[in-house]
Amino acid sequence: MAKMEVKTSLLDNMIGVGDMVLLEPLSEDSFINNLKKRFDHSEIYTYIGSVVVSINPYRPLPIYSPEKVEEYRNRNFYELSPHIFALSDEAYRSLRDQDKDQCILITGESGAGKTEASKLVMSYVAAVCGKGAEVNQVKEQLLQSNPVLEAFGNAKTVRNDNSSRFGKYMDIEFDFKGDPLGGVISNYLLEKSRVVKQPRGERNFHIFYQILSGASEDLLNKLKLERDFSRYNYLSLDSARVNGVDDAVNFRTVRNAMQIVGFMDHETQSILEVVAAVLKLGNIEFKPESRVNGLDESKIKDKNELKEICELTGIDQSVLERAFSFRTVEAKQEKVSTTLNVAQAYYARDALAKNLYSRLFSWLVTRINESIKAQTKVRKKVMGVLDIYGFEIFEDNSFEQFIINYCNEKLQQIFIELTLKEEQEEYIREDIEWTHIEYFNNAIICDLIENNQTGILAMLDEECLRPGTVTDDTFLEKLNQVCATHQHFESRMSKCSRFLNDTSLPHSCFRIQHYAGKVMYQVEGFVDKNNDLLYRDLSQAMWKANHSLIKALFPEGNPAKINLKRPPTAGSQFKASVATLMKNLQTKNPNYIRCIKPNDKKAAHIFNEALVCHQVRYLGLLENVRVRRAGYAFRQPYELCLERYKMLCKQTWPHWRGPARAGVEVLFNELEIPEEEYSFGRSKIFIRNPRTLFKLEDLRKQRLEDLATLIQKIYRGWKCRTHFLLMKRSQIVIASWCRRYAQQKKYQRIKSSAIVVQSYIRGWKARKLLRELKHQKRCKEAATTIAAYWHGTQVRKCQQTFSVSRPAFGAKVLQKRQREMFLNSLNYLTSISLCCTHFNSCNLENQDILLYLWFCSDWFLSFSLSPLGPAVTFSALNFFYNPFSNTPQARRELRRLKEEARNKHAIAVIWAYWLGYKVRREYRKFFRANAGRKIYEFTLQKIMQKYFLEMKNKMPSLSPIDKNWPARPYLFLDSTHKELKRIFHLWRCKKYRDQFTDQQKLIYEEKLEASELFKDKKALYPASVGQPFHGAYLEISKNPKYKKLKDAVEEKIIIAEVVNKINRANGKCASRIFLLTKNNVLLADQKSGHIKSEVPLGDVTKVSMSSQNDGFFAVHLKEGSGAAGKGDFLFSSDHLIEMATKLYRTTLSQTKQKLNIEISDEFLVQFKQDKVCVKFIQGNQKNGNIPTCKRKNNRLLEVAVP
């Protein structure tokens, strides 16, 4: 989420007007329009001076995060946008720093968000006060007391899913540092009548449903309860489940909160047992029985429930049974016992249930106070938070609404008094002349109700206490006698009433003109509810219980403490509580939060101007604005005013060196503002008219634009200069690098040239030296050759001379040399013989011996090639065989040896080749397998490459309906071919879908939904495929005929179509306008446009239709809902498929549950209390293809279709 712009004043970036005191012109319409404008921009808080007006958004907003808490912490009240945190911070800082006790009064009607506002105040104070283990424990206990009280004191009403049915005032106590020490809670007027009876569409207190939903089976068995809500008469079934509320989870939260607050396990168990006993009391039923003396008495029908109640509470069954059947009246020394008839027995049962629950709630508050009260005796600072019911105006207003509205009259009185007192104190403190302010004082209304002699409450108490027959009618007669002349009291018999002939004011009613408007009260039940009697027999039975908690709740049942004095009435108790509350509030500095409910549907983004206007009137907000504006509309400290507007004057801009007041005087004189438009106080400037303030704001806005232009000019100049200097530095750096690069390149070229020249010179020198060396070598070789030839010539000459002159000597020398050679050969052959012997001893193979002999023979042959070798060798061999003869036999032997040597060599070569062949044969199989796999992979790769290249050229078109696909070339590619076809089809479908606009996507989604719902099920479906879904067939916004209908429908219309509504009694048709919106289904008259019926989508359970080719369908409603009074609806339409599809999708979107679509030629519908079978038959139609309906009997409706 983008970071929000930080504001430095309430006047910055205002949406509408943040403070209603500045609203110009001031009227009811402008007031409402300003609230609506801010509400549409999610600005739910608005100021009226120091009063915060809060509108319930019915949705979570990101304005309560820890960052927001820090943003408003220690900030001036008007410094930031209006917020409940600003008021909480102002109250906390006044308490901590100025040592002023504070109270925060939160008022508004049910569903306006009072309980949430009190939670936000407490959470903010907990977040900004001190830290520490002990402090955190106190804060946690204070915060966790809320879930416990909400479970036992809140209930679901038609206006609010978590409505407080009691008034709560909590005093939070702080030490001198501002850390919480504890708290004290006071409760006012629990609506205990809700225990035994709830209005339609509402629930009993939360705790009953939480126990049945969240308790374990073991706990339910201990409490003798069952999980089924329908088993208990005190629980309303039509609203037992609440959307978005998980009673099981809330029950675990309450148990955890009770543990944190400090309830022991046995105390929690006792509380749950009392709740279970109250729940089971409603199941006790009575039957009449006549006695001998002719008097009627009552008996319990089924004593099973009574037995379980007695087991839970530890009461003797006979004692409790007698208390339900008899009543004992004591007067001085006499006791009279009378029987109770059935009506009186039911009254006694309900009275016991109400008293038991109400006293349990009071005990809970007392027990919580014991846990959270401050443990120290030091002086404490106190911040009170009052969360009390707002002004109530219902269709039927009774005793509860009367005393609630009385409390609000007292709060309005103290609000006006404290507001005027605060204004007057500020004027005196700032030395501003105080002028009298005209306002409506509602003290006359409070006196009408609470006067000790002639007040309505006093007369009600007097009527309850007087002997004789006392009824509600006698009470009304007394009111007509005493209050007849009062200008704020009206009845059919009063003298001030202007409605003597008006039947809208019944005889059994009276009307009071409150500050918020006129309220008519039904006098029925005033006397009984004010008496609040509980028979003494029941009190004594409760005191006899073995249950410690129940015994403590009924101390008056103790026979030793019998008090014959009549207990105080409910009205007098409440009057005393309100007086104590008012006295407490007058000792504290007040802070106000006025809560407003924007609509009755508990829906976000809906602003009902009529409803908000009604609340603005009875909250007296316009009166509050007028009181605040009667003197000066705006006031601000000099420092803040000078800081905000100093740029409008040259002398104060940019800095003012003197006092802030002098600077403001100079500023206002410079701007030539008339003196009568403002006054100077001690520390603040007071501005009389909002126009003056708005003029200052306009001048400031214009001056800020000029300053912004100047700043932009200076910034742009600085930016351009900086950019130029940066470019200049960059140019210098680039130029230096370019020059360096050029010099490096030049150096490299010179270097490479030098290297080339050097290489050529070195090559020339080397070649020259090589030629010289070659020449020297050839000279040496030539000299050697010449010397060799010369020496050879000399040797030959010498030999020839020697052989001619001394032959005998030469023969001796030769013979000596031959003998030496023979000995050498003999030694050689002896060595060979030894080697052969060694080879044999080593078991070497023949081929190895041959190889070795071949090596030796090779050496022998090489020796024979020496200069004297041939002659010596042959002579040695000859001498070996025959040393004394040189015969041909020796030569043959020599040839044989040579032949053997060559054979051995051949054998060795063949053997080596054989070994190599065996090795290659051994490893050939490995080489052959690897080569096969490589060849296979290569072939497969080439086939796949060819396949994909061919597929590239044979691809079909991108149309999703084109079913052509190239043939499969190879069998082994079958699965690949199919998968590729599937992927290509999905891809081109996606490409085709990406071309759709959002509107087209919505149309196709609806068509797809219709196909899933009706294809092959409804014969009418194929004809609807080619027809687009228009929805708004009636152009209501353009047709002036339906202007009234358009104004009545605030939501977006999804379907507007004329349908034929089937009469439930005779089957005849009547034209109706069928409207489907985001949350409702509406039926309106086609001619007048008047709305006949409105059905929430949550109440639609099923849509039924036939499988034939007709447009008949039925809309089934939830049993017990407000719209199901007459039963289900039957319609006939030409656009059945579209209507059913849109109804299905809208219901799924809103309720997150699929709407059941039943397609059958025979189904049941609910008409009032009867179930009727709708049967479709084939028949000839008189009206063409339109189906006709005929009611056969009370249980059958036939529909003839073509």
Q: Give catalytic residue positions.
A: 110-111, 115, 160, 163-164, 390, 392
> How far is the CA of 79 from the CAs of 12, 38, 65, in angstroms?
9, 18, 19
Tokens for 321, please give them: 């049974």
Give the count of beta carbons closer than 10 Å to the beta carbon of residue 530: 23
Residues forming a β-bridge with 594: 53, 107
- The DSSP symbol for 970 reads -
151: left (phi over 0), alpha (psi -120 to 50) or beta: alpha
Give the count of beta carbons closer than 10 Å to the beta carbon of residue 741: 10
CA 340 to chain centre: 56
Helix (H) or strand (E) holding 188: strand 180-188
Q: What does DSSP say about strands 51-55 and 589-596: parallel, antiparallel, or unpaired?
A: parallel
**Distance (Å, rounded) from C-alpha 113 to C-alpha 120?**
11
CB within 8 Å of 519: residues ≥ 6 apart: 393, 397, 401, 405, 511, 512
Q: Coil, strand, or helix at residue 1070?
A: strand
**Distance (Å, rounded) from C-alpha 68 to C-alpha 51?**
20
In this structure, are residues 24 and 690 in contact, taking their beta carbons and an 8 Å threshold?
Answer: yes
**Distance (Å, rounded) from C-alpha 353 to C-alpha 275?**
10
In this structure, are residues 621 and 48 in contact, taking their beta carbons and an 8 Å threshold?
Answer: yes
Alpha-carbon Rg for the chain, nearest whole angstrom, is 56
In this structure, are residues 1073 and 1034 in contact, taking their beta carbons and an 8 Å threshold?
Answer: yes
**Distance (Å, rounded) from C-alpha 438 to C-alpha 416?**
11
Q: Determine the residue type at 850.
A: L
Using alpha carbons, select from 1198, 1080, 1056 the residue that is nearest to residue 1133.
1056
**Distance (Å, rounded) from C-alpha 582 to C-alpha 1180?**
79
In this structure, are residues 1051 and 1077 in contact, taking their beta carbons and an 8 Å threshold?
Answer: yes
Tokens for 995, please give them: 């071309």
The DSSP-derived string for 278-327 is HHHHTT--EEEEE-TTS-EEEEES-HHHHHHHHHHHT--HHHHHHHHHEE
- The DSSP symbol for 1169 reads T
Q: Determine the residue type at 537.
A: D
Q: What is the SS3 assignment for 96-134?
A: HHHCCCEEEEEECCCCCCHHHHHHHHHHHHHHHCCCCHH
Indicate the length of the chain as a whole number. Answer: 1202
**Distance (Å, rounded) from C-alpha 844 to C-alpha 839?**
5
Scan for tokens 């479906």, then name that residue.
1021
Using alpha carbons, select from 1113, 1129, 1191 the residue that is nearest to residue 1166.
1129
Give the count of beta carbons closer than 10 Å to the beta carbon of residue 335: 9
